[in-house]
Amino acid sequence: MTVQDAHTPASESDSPSESGKPGGAVDQNGTERSIGWHKGYVQGSRPDLQVPVRQVHLTNGKDVTLYDTSGPYTDPSIETDVRRGLAPLRENWIIGRGDTEEYAGRPVRPEDDGLKHTSPRGGLRNLDAVFPGRPRQPRRGRDGQAVTQLAYARRGDITPEMEYVAIRENVAPEVVRDEIAAGRAVLPANVNHPEIEPMIIGKRFLVKVNANIGNSAVTSSIEEEVDKMTWATKWGADTVMDLSTGRNIHTTREWVLRNSPVPIGTVPLYQALEKVDGKAEELTWDIYKDTVIEQAEQGVDYMTVHAGVLLRYVPLTARRKTGIVSRGGSIMAAWCLAHHKESFLYENFEELCDILASYDVTYSLGDGLRPGSIADANDEAQFAELRTLGELNTIAKRHNVQTMIEGPGHVPMHKIKENIDLQQEICEEAPFYTLGPLTTDVAPAYDHITSGIGAAMIAWWGTAMLCYVTPKEHLGLPDRDDVKTGVITYKIAAHAADLAKGHPGAQEWDDALSDARFEFRWEDQFNLALDPDTARAFHDETLPAEPAKTAHFCSMCGPKFCSMKISQDIRRQHGGDLVPEEIEAGMAEKSKEFAAAGNRVYLPLAE
């Protein structure tokens, strides 16, 4: 794999790129080579297919190539402007397929931004917030045909998107195509979101992490949400869900989409509920459908749809300790009971499939009845809904809609495996997308940890994407620091699972960092770390001096007690410059003498 470096080392403030410290190492080609990390690209089969990577240049002249989700923001040779949005990377690929058409699209109304119909002026007051970037018309499949990656894969095509993820995942393009065709993986890529760098979600690939953002109770501004999105992807979020529920939902989403290098997911039901002033019983299929089209035209890549919450399942939650804890689930349950009719999402599911197929919006079938406490885990309500999701998954596939299934929730460790095993069986191995699960209820303020434990385990057993949980879960809205903590915690869970699954190449990262640790290459250890900034800061707290960066010990044990130093001395003294084999031989020799001397414990040995 040949990698081209972006011209100069990245160096944005408070980002991982900060840790890219220029240094004086000279690489294989004898050219000056700066230590740290750089944005790099792997060239694909066509000029406009370049896959971004995080290139870490080590002080020992070696390079380590890591998966990169940070988008153009960490490429110093690219000038980004949130008011213009990102370049439409996939536009030519989409147009090139010739199966989509531009059209006028649905007019944006004040109520799309949660503004009362009675006060359209409210819309004007917010005009400054309207996205100023290039005007665009929405696009959809000609004659309502399915323009999904699933349809292409089944047809045997390998799209540029598929080649892109194949390079990212370091596998053959055919593997990507076949996994998508089989419904075991999804490649969320709405034709109206050409800005994304394609990624794939499936158990055969690297475990992915989703970060939720969204202004609720109108506590945060549009700018804050866009910043949270870029901040989350900078630390490794593979997708972002915009769960906004307050004012300016439509406009906030527009800004987020136009600036996002990763797929964006939403829960259309939230906005639909805003349109009926929060009165669940006033929801209708038409309002919901209109909202889905509104969001599909904007470019939302996947949508959570709680179509599995059936009227007859609601009673099953009556004995629960925490009832229904999914927002969407509780809204649909309320609607079903208010009307004593079956869910309009379930009744109109096939029509919904045709709409999503014409934009290539991926289904994320929501688990509206997921358990909200250890006591409710794996109960009848949860698994009844799962069986319905299996039925809907089959219908969605028939309509060529890419589909993943959402999972819990709160589940004690010994009940986690049953969740992934049942889901894989019932949903024909469709990608599982779980929230945690949280392995105990007793640690509010630390639920990134209670859930990170369950997330690592369920991902090892086959979950394809993990929805992060921040320290603020159950207590409040995550701020910037919470978002970072949540993403880092979940990247740890995802990578631990990649290792346990034996994902090809996953361990190279650990090995490179451990080599740096054993050889006291502190700068390399920092630059290879999931969070270089914090690793360096912690080290400097106790040993700030520059020399300490090359010291053969750290403040934990000090020089006398540094096991690695002693361990190295042993190799030097008893191996000199010998290679491991020779050291081994030499030591084995000595221990043979020991064995020959009786190898017994209480027999005094000769000096």
Query: From the annotation, which residues make up the binding site for [4Fe-4S] cluster?
Result: 554, 557, 562
- Contact with a second copy (CB under 8 A) among 1, 117, 574, 576: 574
Task: Please list, in sequence order, all residues whose beta carbon lies within 8 angstroms of the beta carbon of residue 429, skipping any fewer than 6 positions away.
Answer: 182, 183, 184, 203
For every residue of 148-186, DSSP letters joined together read -HHHHHHTT---HHHHHHHHHHTS-HHHHHHHHHTTSEE
Taking the complex as a whole, the smallest distance from the CB of residue 380 to a second copy amounts, in Å, to: 11
- Minimum distance, C-beta of residue 108 to a second copy, in the bound complex (Å): 23
Judged by beta carbon, residue 174 or residue 347, the one nearer a second copy is 347
User: Which of 158/499 has CB closer to a second copy?
Assistant: 499
- Only one of the segments 34-42, 121-129, 257-265, 573-581 lies at the binding site for a second copy (rule: CB under 8 A); that segment is 573-581
Element (H, E) at 3: strand 3-5
Q: Which is nearer to a second copy, 103 or 561 (CB)?
A: 561
Non-local (6+) Cβ contacts of 378 within 8 A are 371, 411, 415, 418, 419
- 330 contributes a contact to a second copy by CB under 8 A: yes
Per-residue interface string for the shown chain with a second copy, residues 250-289, x marking contact by CB under 8 A: --------------------x--x----x-x---------
By CB under 8 A, name the one of 25, 129, 412, 428 that touches a second copy. Answer: 412
Binding-site member from 3, 334, 384, 551 for a second copy (CB under 8 A): 334
Is residue 322 a contact residue for a second copy (CB under 8 A)?
yes
Taking CB under 8 A as the rule, does residue 460 contact a second copy? yes
Q: Does 73 bind a second copy (CB under 8 A)?
A: no
Q: How many CA atoms lie within 13 A of 579 on its CB side?
A: 1
Q: Minimum Å distance from CB 360 to a second copy?
A: 25
- Residue 405 is inside which H or E element, if any? strand 403-407
One residue of 4, 45, 119, 542 binding a second copy per CB under 8 A: 542
Please tell me the distance from the alpha carbon of residue 72 to that of residue 498, in angstroms, as a whole number. Answer: 26
CB nearer a second copy, residue 104 or residue 442: 442
Q: Of the ranges 20-28, 196-204, 420-428, 465-473, which one interacts with a second copy (CB under 8 A)?
A: 465-473
Binding residues for Zn(2+): 410, 474
What is the crossing angle of helices 380-398 and 349-357, to 10°? Answer: 50
Write out the binding residues for a second copy, residues 157-176 only, by CB under 8 A.
none
- Considering only 538, 552, 572, 576, the residue that binds a second copy (CB under 8 A) is 538
Q: Which of residues 201-230 bind a second copy (CB under 8 A)?
A: 216-217, 219
Q: Which stretch binds a second copy (CB under 8 A): 2-10, 85-93, 292-300, 505-513?
A: 505-513
Task: Check residue 449 for interaction with a second copy (CB under 8 A).
Answer: yes
| Inter-helix orientation angle 285-298/349-357, to 10° | 20
Cα separation, 193 vs 84, whole angstroms? 14
**Spatial separation of the C-alpha atoms in residues 129 and 597, rounded to whole Å:** 84
Of 312, 545, 547, 577, the residue at the interface with a second copy (CB under 8 A) is 312
Asked if 19 touches a second copy (CB under 8 A), the answer is no
With tokens 């690793």, the residue in question is 535
Q: Is 305 among the residues that bind a second copy (CB under 8 A)?
A: no
* 393 is a site residue for a second copy (CB under 8 A): no
Q: Tell me the closest approach of the beta carbon of residue 20 to a second copy, in angstroms.
A: 17
- The piece of 47-55, 69-77, 202-210, 522-530 that touches a second copy (CB under 8 A) is 522-530
Q: Whose structure tokens read 């290098």?
A: 261
- Give the per-residue contact string, 346-365, with a second copy (x = CB under 8 A; - = no): xx-x----------------
Scanning 67-75, 293-301, 396-404, 506-514 for contacts with a second copy by CB under 8 A, the matching segment is 506-514
45 near a second copy, judged by CB under 8 A: no
> Residues within the annotated binding site?
212, 241, 270, 306, 326-328, 367-370, 406, 410, 433, 474, 554, 557, 562
The rounded distance, in Å, linking the Cα atoms of 14 and 399 is 45
Of 513, 521, 523, 527, which one interacts with a second copy (CB under 8 A)?
Answer: 513
User: Minimal distance in Å, beta carbon 208 to a second copy?
Assistant: 16
What whole-number distance in Å separates Cα of residue 96 and Cα of residue 404?
27
Instruction: Kindly compute the dihedral angle of the four CA atoms of residues 200, 201, 207, 211, in this order, to the nearest 10 degrees.
Output: 100
Kindly tell me which of 89 and 273 has the beta carbon lying closer to a second copy.
273
At residue 36, what are phi and psi to the nearest 5 degrees? 125, -150
Instruction: Tokens for 469, please give them.
Output: 């949980």
Dmax (CA) for the chain in angstroms is 99
Measured at the alpha carbon of residue 152, what is the angle toward residues 146 and 153, in degrees to the nearest 5? 130
Whether the Cβ atoms of residue 333 and residue 368 lie closer than 8 Å to each other: yes
- Nearest Cα residue to 158 out of 205, 97, 89, 87: 97
Does residue 428 bind a second copy (CB under 8 A)? Answer: no
Select the residue interacting with a second copy from 446, 505, 552, 572 (CB under 8 A): 446
Q: Does 26 bind a second copy (CB under 8 A)?
A: no
Whole-number minimum distance, CB 396 to a second copy, in Å?
14
Report how far residue 522's alpha carbon sits from residue 536's, in angstroms, rounded to the nearest whole number.
9
Q: What is the rounded CA–CA span in Å between residue 425 and residue 428?
A: 6
Provide the token pair at 279. Answer: 């009165």
* 3-state helix/strand/coil string of 424-486: HHHCCCCCEEEECCECCCCCCCCHHHHHHHHHHHHHHCCCCEEECCCCCCCCCCCCHHHHHHH
502 lies in the binding site for a second copy (CB under 8 A): yes
